[in-house]
């Protein structure tokens, strides 16, 4: 994990927490859910997920014309070829496929928050 990465990992043990709750947690304790604005950030996120052994994680992309929760303007997208397929309004990152999937926001999954440039791992 690079110390220059703006991402900070936060893994939930409670699988029933909704994406809305993860966003609240990120905004209260960090900055927001992870957003990806370039290839380097996408690779950093992918590396963090691979190193953590997680299979699916929430990121901060929402279907409202697919905008980032932190209001960043990145148009970068890594959808799996069959996605988005209107399964939901929130985005899961799948590191084995190196792709994103749209899913319902009430599903419980680990998530990534970002803050500054310090990289830390947190378990709740």
Q: What is the CATH number of the domain that holds 105?
A: 3.10.100.10
**pTM (2 d.p.):** 0.69
Query: Tokens representing 25?
Result: 């947690």
User: H or E segment at 1?
Assistant: none
Rounded CA separation 120/20 (Å): 22
Q: What is the pLDDT of residue 22?
A: 82
Concatenated DSSP letters for 17-32? Answer: --HHHHHHHHHHHSSE
Q: What is the pLDDT of residue 82?
A: 94
Q: What is the pLDDT of residue 121?
A: 39
Where is pLDDT greater, at 81 or 96? Answer: 81
Q: Is residue 92 part of a domain?
A: yes
Q: What is the pLDDT of residue 10?
A: 57
Q: What is the pLDDT of residue 118?
A: 32
| Predicted confidence (pLDDT) per residue in 26-67, tens digit | 888 878 888 888 888 888 888 888 887 878 888 888 886 788
Where is pLDDT greater, at 109 or 115? Answer: 109
Query: Tokens representing 54?
Result: 């997680």
Would you give the DSSP letter of residue 116? S
Q: Is residue 78 part of a domain?
A: yes
Cα 123 from chain centroid (whole Å) = 16
The pLDDT of 12-16, averaged and rounded, is: 47
Contact 74, 39 (CB under 8 A): no
Q: What is the pLDDT of residue 122?
A: 40
| Predicted confidence (pLDDT) per residue in 63-82, tens digit | 867 888 888 888 888 899 99
Q: Is residue 14 part of a domain?
A: no
Contact 123, 40 (CB under 8 A): no
Asked if pLDDT for residue 95 goes beyond 50, the answer is yes
Range of the domain at 74: 19-114
Contact 38, 109 (CB under 8 A): no
Rounded CA separation 78/123 (Å): 27
Q: How many domains does the chain fold into?
A: 1
């Amino acid at each position: 994990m690079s110390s220059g990465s703006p991402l900070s990992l936060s893994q939930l043990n409670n699988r029933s927490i909704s994406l809305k709750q993860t966003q609240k947690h990120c905004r209260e304790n960090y900055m927001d859910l992870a957003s990806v604005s370039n290839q380097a950030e996408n690779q950093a996120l992918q590396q963090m997920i691979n190193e953590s052994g997680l299979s699916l994680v929430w990121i901060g992309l929402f279907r409202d014309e697919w905008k980032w929760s932190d209001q960043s303007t990145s148009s970068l997208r890594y959808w799996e070829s069959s996605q988005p397929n209107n399964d939901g309004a929130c985005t899961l990152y799948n590191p084995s496929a190196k792709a994103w999937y749209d899913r319902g926001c009430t599903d419980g999954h680990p998530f990534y928050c970002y803050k500054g440039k310090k990289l830390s791992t947190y378990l709740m």
